[in-house]
Structure 1
Amino acid sequence: MTATQREKQIHGEGVEVLGRDEDCTIYRLSDDTGDVVMTSYHVFPGIDLIYNDVHMRSCTIGRAPLGDMIEINHCREGRIECELRDEFFYLSQGDLAISRKDDAGHASYFPLSHYHGITIMIDLERTPCCLECFLKDVDVCPSSLADKFCGGSDCFVMRARPCMEHIFSELYSVPDCIRKGYFKVKILEILLFLSGMESDKNTLERCCYPAAQVALAKEVCRYLSEHMDCRVTISQLAERFKVSQTLLKDSFRGVYGVSVYAWIRTQKMRSAALMLLKTDKRILDIAGRHGYDNGSKFAKAFQDVMGMTPNAYRCSVRADGIRAAAAENDGGPTPNFL
């Protein structure tokens, strides 16, 4: 299916439409590094709810004029980079951001190449002035919310709180039979809750990183990715990039949310998982390829990252593949769209 011109303006020129029905459209952006799938539901006039499933490092969107729009983003898993006045901040699990969607092109960066979350997109020119027309006593004005949270700084961030987690968590497991009405109730609940919140702009200023620190972290990450077969220490990295060890560690953790060593271990275990899936190499040989000469230490590191032992992972993934192939050969039912 072909995306409309407005869909390209919002989601990017290269967006594909994977499926469309009366109130839902599934979009995809992809390149050689992975893809982004966005499942968008039209809830109210001018208000859409979008589920974002990201498995790529970055994507660039060049925009045309859109009008006056705001986004409410909630991060369920992973990490996303956001730019504010030549500085950068990051959303991780449970964090919330409210921002205006401007007309400038931008690149979305996902430090872990993994992100799942929800976007509530509000077109202030198309949505009603007051949401009480949908439900009595929901005295919420979307444009007032935009001024409250996005005035001046153009962005507001709230770090994970139990109250917000409770509200958003319910949106990640909605039965199809009640989905349409449930989305309406939840959107009104979220907007009503936000209307009663105080907006502390200082919260955002304390978690920003200057462009130089972000660039340093990304250069370190690029270097580590190219030398995964080497043992690299913090002191070696600091010497190579001519910075202090403290600055290097703080910059890397600020962008990627974990220490250098934790990041290296995760990347090695993901690479090992791919080898377990794609090859018949012995587990000890795979451990050796990833810098482990002790099978027990490798098994523990793998379980810490992947949630199961190397042997259990190999058996589980292959069993899933066999079951899927059997179902296909049996001519099993094809899932309906949504």
Structure 2
Amino acid sequence: MPNKNMTLLDRLHFLKKNPTTTQKQLPCVTYKIMFCSGVGLLTGYPVFPGAELILNEYKGTAFDFNHDPMDQVMQINFCLEGRMGWTLHNGDCLYLGAGDISIHMMDHCATSSMALPLEYYKGFTIFLDLDEFKNHLPQALCSIGYNPIELKSKFCDAGQITVLPATTKMDTLFYLWDTVPSAYQLSYLQLKLQELLLFLNIYDLSKSKGKDPYPAAIISTIKKMHKKLTSDLKEHPTIELLSKDFLINTSTLKKAFKSIYGQPIAQYMKDYRMHHAANLLCQTTMTVGEISEMMGYESQSKFATAFKKIMQIPPVEYRTRYKMENTDLPKT
């Protein structure tokens, strides 16, 4: 039996199994966790009895989690920035992008893993102990006869994991968070949690096109494809060629790639090339012409046009503005 004085965040074992530093600054507690392939910063706010809201910030590639199965605790994730791939207990994987919401019970993620395709993720997580929260409902929810237990049957029936795609109705839910003074943060989160729970209560699942999980085999294929695409940026393979090389039909390829990496392949690779080129401009002595050739452009002028479109300024200006200190860079 868990200690009733422990917060839900305290009951997550991975906080103890990984090197962790803790900083308490009421009303919140911040955990900095070192994983093998990255770092996580978790700031927990006990917004109501039975309800905790966590601001998660992860940088890295992959993270493993283990905790006790908690069949009466619901986990709701709201992605703010980046992308997160959540590997389910059956091996399937769902991906969250900005504005997406996932909902599941915590007996189905006792052993799980998270992958970050863009190597960063920021979002809020709500831990909701349904029994305790039901007995301590905020007045606004109590006055309308709100029953949090109904959320379980609606979104998590028979072990179901629900992912709701981003909607304009909720894309500004935490819009003011970065500007809220610390003295007001708890009150702000109390209001926002109630707003989110009301939204879920009236949400019509029958009209929603939820995100379906992709089998682990398809996820693995897309990741191998991504490795091939990013290992030699000179090459510009077509969708048809990739489909043939990786034995996957073009429709599934395009949908799965966008689901994992957040953009169509062509746009993703254009952004990837320009951000990689930006790093080379800042951290190496390569000329703009050499970088242009490495990115697969036939002419330096076409590269410069593409670079400016993504990075907002030309390559030479970017190098001048952001180059590493004490680096002897050539004139270009």
- TM bucket by the smaller chain? 0.7 to 0.9
The correspondence for 1:162, drawn from 159, 168, 173, is 168
Aligned residue number for residue 103 of structure 2: 98
Deviation per residue, 1:23-75 (Å, 9 max, x gap): 22222344565433222222222222222223322211122344521122112
Alignment map for 1:316-327 (pairs within 5 Å): 316-317=321-322
CA apart distance, 1:229: 4.7
Aligned residue number for residue 50 of structure 1: 54
Q: SS at 2:45's partner residue?
A: strand
CA apart distance, 1:118: 1.5
Residues 1:175 and 2:181 are matched in the alignment? yes
CA apart distance, 1:133: 5.0
Q: Is the 8 A contact 1:138 1:188 kept in 2?
A: no
Alignment map for 1:10-89 (pairs within 5 Å): 11=15, 13-14=17-18, 16-31=20-35, 33-66=37-70, 68-83=72-87, 85-89=90-94
What TM-score, normalized by structure 2, do the two folds share? 0.80
CA apart distance, 1:106: 0.8
| CA distance in 1 between partners of 2:162 and 2:172 (Å) | 20
The share of aligned pairs that are identical, in percent, is: 28
| CA distance in 1 between partners of 2:53 and 2:21 (Å) | 16
Q: Is the 8 A contact 1:82 1:89 kept in 2?
A: yes
* Of 17-26 and 244-253, the range deviating more from structure 2: 244-253
Alignment map for 1:247-258 (pairs within 5 Å): 247-258=252-263
Q: SS at 2:133's partner residue?
A: coil
| CA distance in 1 between partners of 2:203 and 2:296 (Å) | 50
CA apart distance, 1:318: 5.2
Deviation per residue, 1:10-35 (Å, 9 max, x gap): 65722523522222222234456543
Alignment length (residue pairs):
318
Q: Is the 8 A contact 1:62 1:106 kept in 2?
A: yes
Q: SS at 1:131's partner residue?
A: coil
| CA distance in 2 between partners of 1:250 and 1:8 (Å) | 34
Q: Is the 8 A contact 1:25 1:41 kept in 2?
A: yes
Q: Is the 8 A contact 1:97 1:156 kept in 2?
A: yes
Aligned residue number for residue 275 of structure 1: 280
| CA distance in 2 between partners of 1:8 and 1:127 (Å) | 19
- State the one-letter code of the partner of 1:189: E
Alignment map for 1:282-297 (pairs within 5 Å): 282-297=287-302
| CA distance in 2 between partners of 1:15 and 1:66 (Å) | 24
Q: Could you say if the C-alpha distance between residues 240 and 261 of structure 1 is closer, same or farther in structure 2, counting changes exceeding 3 Å?
A: same
CA apart distance, 1:275: 1.8
What TM-score, normalized by structure 1, do the two folds share? 0.79
Q: Is the 8 A contact 2:37 2:63 kept in 1?
A: no
Q: Is the 8 A contact 2:43 2:55 kept in 1?
A: yes
